[in-house]
Amino acid sequence: MKKILESFLDLIYKKKCYFCRSSKYSLKMCPKCYEELQFTDFRPNRIIEGVNIYSCGVYEKVLQKLIRGLKYHKQKELAFYLAKFMYEYWTQLEISGDFQVVPTPLHKNRIRKRKYNHMELVAVEFCKLTGYTLNTELIKRVKDTKPQYRLSRKERLQNLSQAFEVDLSKNLNKPVLILDDICTTGATFEEMINALKEQGIKNIVCMASSSPIC
């Protein structure tokens, strides 16, 4: 009933593109704006503890607005478009395997404030596209870290020290693909990688939707 009502309302009040405000397609992100998203090179952005870290695009322009809209402005429908962008990048890497997808977790206090984990929404859509299995139970954020954006790499690593806890009972015995929105210094990925490796999980790939302009 809810979907029927939403469809009816969409016919009356066409959705506007979040980016250009066009109602031509009645989509939250119109094809024209989606096509403005640009991939980076199809190679690791960096390698941390022997693990390849990929960044799909650069954190600017449309991609920046896409991430910020989803993360801070409750534009949950944008999760599909970010997942699609990441999926299309992922397919170009030609990495084989049946992965368990782990979205970077938020601390319960952050969830309480924000009401949702935006990367979990992205991971759900990413798994629909890939057929991979979502695993939100393998890694938990047990330390309520402060925001990272103004911290140096050293400060980020100190801030994230012992921030994650791995529950081996939730391991699906598949390669792990960790998803995040922005990879700046790689500190978050590094701490998660270390937490996994301490528990004997070594088959890991990390992918962020973006990295800052170099």
Question: Which tens digits make up the pLDDT trace of 171-196?
Answer: 999 999 999 999 999 999 999 999 99
**Residue 140 parent element (H or E):** strand 139-141
CB 85 within 8 A of CB 209: yes
**End-to-end alpha carbon distance in the chain:** 48
Sketch out the chain's domains with CATH numbers.
1-35 (no CATH), 37-145+153-211 (3.40.50)
By the 8 A CB rule, do 209 and 181 touch? yes
Per DSSP, the three-state class of 93 is helix
35 by Cβ neighbours in 10 Å (0-12 / 13-18 / 19+) ranks as: exposed
Residue indicated by tokens 């922005």: 182
Rg of the Cα atoms in the chain: 18
The strand pairing partners of 182, in sequence order, are: 210
**CA neighbours within 13 Å on the CB side: how many for 13?**
4
Confidence of residue 213 (pLDDT cuts 50, 70, 90): confident
CA distance 151 to 103: 22
Region 139-166: what's the mean pLDDT? 74
Per-residue pLDDT tens over the stretch 107-143: 999 889 899 999 999 999 999 999 999 999 999 998 8
Q: What is the mean pLDDT of the chain?
A: 91
pLDDT band at 39; cut points 50, 70, 90: very high
CA dihedral 85→133→143→76, nearest 10 degrees, is 40
What count of Cα atoms within 13 Å lies in the side-chain half-sphere of residue 177? Answer: 25
pTM: 0.89
Gap between the Cα atoms of 208 and 214, Å rounded: 15
Confidence of residue 159 (pLDDT cuts 50, 70, 90): low
108 compared with 155, residue with greater pLDDT: 108
102: β partners: 178
pLDDT 10s digits, 48-58: 999 999 999 99
